[in-house]
Chains A and B, each alone.
Chain A
Amino acid sequence: MIRTRGLTKRYGQVRAVDGIDLDVREGDVYGFLGANGSGKTTTVRMLLGLVLATDGEAELFGEPMPRAASSVLPRVGALVEGPGAYPHLSGHANLALFDAAAGPKVKRRSRRARIREVLEQVGLDPVDERPAKAYSLGMRQRLGLAAALMRRPPLLVLDEPTNGLDPQGIRDIRELLLGLNRSGTTIFLSSHLLAEIEQMSTRVGVLDRGRLVMQEDMSALRTATGLVRVRTPDIAAAIALLDGRVEHRGVEMILVRAHDSAALNQRLVSAGVRVTEMSPVRRGLEEIVLAATESPERKS
């Protein structure tokens, strides 16, 4: 869906984006992580043909960007660094203008129906006649998302889509995006919020000072660490039983090296150790990302 080779953007001496090779596959929710100023937005702008790359190439749907922009972009819904709207027009009128600005001719009636549909999808009132300047940040964000969804694009490129939303709003939008993904939409989600990426993504790319330091499937990243966390009131009995395999001891909790937690559980229970809670330990995305972004600096 999205593929870049050595994509680079230089501003003077600064390499804002430095030779990145993105690979986003059909059906992915691709989490594009990076701190503020790491080059995420510049990358997104290059993918959309807004900023011209200094070097390297980008392909969307297998077609080169920005050369094939006129055939690629109608199939992409975009939200880049905050929504945009004409302040004196209603949300409805804004969507109609954007939709009429380019792309295939749409009958007025079907456009109106589609606008109503997307506004409801993102949780805005379709009959709201207030001008966009009276909208709250969260409402504007929803309107921007509605504009991206207008043409049912098979690829969504979203930069910080939940910016300015309250927790309930974030949840609604997450559900909406996951629903779209289930019905076949590929989503490229750029964010600095680890939790958001962790909850949604099937694949993660991490950008650090312009470089892509990691790109991996989420399932591969989150394999078990070979440790099992066991919570038990009979802590001494448990340690005596599992002598030598206990990695860490806490208050009524131990970390045990074990690959089969079911077998471990059976062994504890049959020896009369009561188990309150038990779970295999997985690495969090946060640790993984920190490890990926910090190690080169530490070594040098």
Chain B
Amino acid sequence: MIRVELTKMLRRPLTWVTIAALNALPTLVAILLALTDLGPRPGTGPPFLSAVLTDGTLFPLAALGIVLPLFLPVAVAVVGGDAIAGEVQTDTLRYLLARPVSRVRLLVAKLTSIIAFVVLATLAVALVAYVEGKLLLGDAPGGVVSVSGSTLTQTQMAERTVMAFVYVVLAMLGVAAIALMLSTMTDSAVAAALGTIGFLVASTVLLGLDAAESLKPYLVTRYWLAFVDLFRDPIRWRDVIHGVLAQLAYLVVFAGAAWANFATRDVNR
């Protein structure tokens, strides 16, 4: 079933349109930077963006920093919200279940395919940004300067980029699980996606509110940008680990809720 779901995901126009849209903003940023040479001052704006004018190879990281807070979660919400509700809309859910595909296996396959989509989308953003950085932006030599100011070797840099990539994928687990749960609760894929986005907006609003201090460690968006900490010297693991644990907790709770709701639900459409 997992293979079938992956095939379906890869053959859907939605997948590729979303990935194209995801690449649009970093591309625009790269072009603007290349044309104007006006980078944000160091320490402001998305992470790494101030450094890409001198070193274009950092642009994949900058691009991930651009899409991570908003674009990537929205894409995951759209794809995840479509998981079950989309099958209802094409009248295919009842035929899958009557094949029979067990409901638990269907959910696991759907979750796997959403995560595969995140990997694919993140990889696409990184690769496109790498090419753009090479072609459009600075290629000043002199090694990579870490966020803390010291110089990182090529191998260190490669290791940390891989870690950052993995972290971005893990950071989307919570969103994927929320979208999947909402998708089992409604027959409308759009409603499920919007519900997920509403959840993220609420989380972001609470992050900016001092009165919500005690809630903050548990918010789904709290540790998203902790991947910057991977480029400190030495790496500051605290928030990264906390972030991964928070995502796993969201995954367990919301995937569990999706299962609890879907396993005994009447499929009336």
Binding site for B on A (CB under 8 A): 45, 48-52, 69-70, 73-74, 76, 78, 80, 82-89, 93, 97-98, 100-103, 144, 147
Contact = CB atoms under 8 A, between A and B. Distances in A.
B90 interface: yes
B91 A73 contact: no
Interface residues of B, number: 25
Contact of A98 (B13, B96, B264, B267): B96
B238 interface: no
Contact of A50 (B7, B13, B266): B266
A100 B98 contact: no
A50 B94 contact: yes
A103 B1 CA distance: 10
A101 B1 contact: yes
B88 to A, nearest CB: 9
Q: Which among A69, A80, A89, A102 has the greatest number of chain B C-beta atoms within 10 A?
A: A102
B102 interface: yes
B153 to A, nearest CB: 47
A42 B101 CA distance: 20
Interface in B235-257: none
Contact of B7 (A73, A87, A97): A97
B212 interface: no
A78 B95 CA distance: 8
B100 interface: yes
Contacts of A50: 94, 97-98, 266-268
A15 to B, nearest CB: 15
B101 A97 contact: no
B266 A102 contact: no
B41 interface: no
Contact of B101 (A76, A85, A89, A101): A101
Contacts of A69: 100, 102
B100 A73 contact: yes
Contacts, number: 78
Contacts of B12: 88
Interface string B114-137: 000000000000000000000000
Contacts of B97: 48-50
Interface of B: 1, 3-4, 7-8, 11-13, 90-102, 264, 266-268
B98 to A, nearest CB: 5
A240 B93 CA distance: 68
A102 B1 contact: yes
Q: Which among B1, B12, B100, B101 has the greatest number of chain A C-beta atoms within 10 A?
A: B100
B101 A102 contact: yes
Contact of B98 (A78, A88, A97): A78
B4 A100 contact: yes
Contact of B100 (A49, A86, A97): A49
A88 B82 CA distance: 15
Contacts of B100: 49, 69-70, 73-74, 102
9 contacts: A45-B267, A78-B95, A80-B95, A85-B92, A98-B96, A100-B3, A101-B96, A102-B1, A147-B95
A69 B266 CA distance: 15
Given A51-B266, A70-B102, A73-B99, A84 B94 contact: yes
Contact of B95 (A49, A87, A89, A98): A98
Nearest to A88: B13
